[in-house]
C-alpha cells in the first residue's frame, strides 16, 4: 500500500469506529488504573485486554488535551467498544 493510501485509510477507519458503538458495558474493562505518580499526582489509564491466550494487537490511545483539558475518556471513548469487539487490547492514558 502506498503512503497516500495509508494516510487515507486511517481517517476512514477512524470515522467508521466513531460511528460504531459506545463504551457501554465492555467485558474486562479496567478503569482508573494507576501506572505512575509525578509530584504526588496519580497518572491513570483505562485498559481492556481480551480474554484468552495472547499475544494481542494493542493500541495506546492518547487524547489531545495538552494536559489542560480532556481526559482519557472524553471524545475517544467511542473507540473502546469497536476495538474490544475486534480483539484488540487498548490502553487509554491521561
pTM of the model: 0.67
- What's the chain's average pLDDT? 76
Q: Where are the beta strands (DSSP E) in the chain?
A: 30-38, 41-48, 58-62, 89-93
- Residue ranges per domain, the chain? 3-93
- Give residue 5's pLDDT: 45
CB 81 within 8 A of CB 26: yes
Residue 10, pLDDT above cutoff 80:
no
Cell of 51: 480474554
Sign of CA dihedral 65, 68, 71, 75: negative
Range name among 2-6, 59-63, 64-68, 80-84 with the lowest pLDDT average: 2-6
**Res. 76 pLDDT band, cuts 50 70 90:** confident
DSSP string, 70-86: --SSTTTGGGHHHHHHT
Amino acid at each position: 500500500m502506498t503512503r497516500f493510501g495509508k494516510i487515507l485509510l486511517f481517517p476512514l477507519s477512524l470515522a467508521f469506529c466513531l460511528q460504531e458503538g459506545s463504551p457501554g458495558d465492555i467485558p474486562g474493562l479496567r478503569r482508573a488504573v494507576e501506572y505512575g505518580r509525578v509530584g504526588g499526582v496519580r497518572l491513570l489509564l483505562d485498559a481492556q485486554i481480551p480474554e484468552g491466550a495472547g499475544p494481542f494487537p494493542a493500541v495506546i490511545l492518547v487524547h489531545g488535551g495538552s494536559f489542560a483539558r480532556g481526559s482519557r475518556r472524553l471524545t475517544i471513548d467511542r473507540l473502546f467498544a469497536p476495538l474490544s469487539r475486534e480483539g484488540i487490547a487498548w490502553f487509554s492514558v491521561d
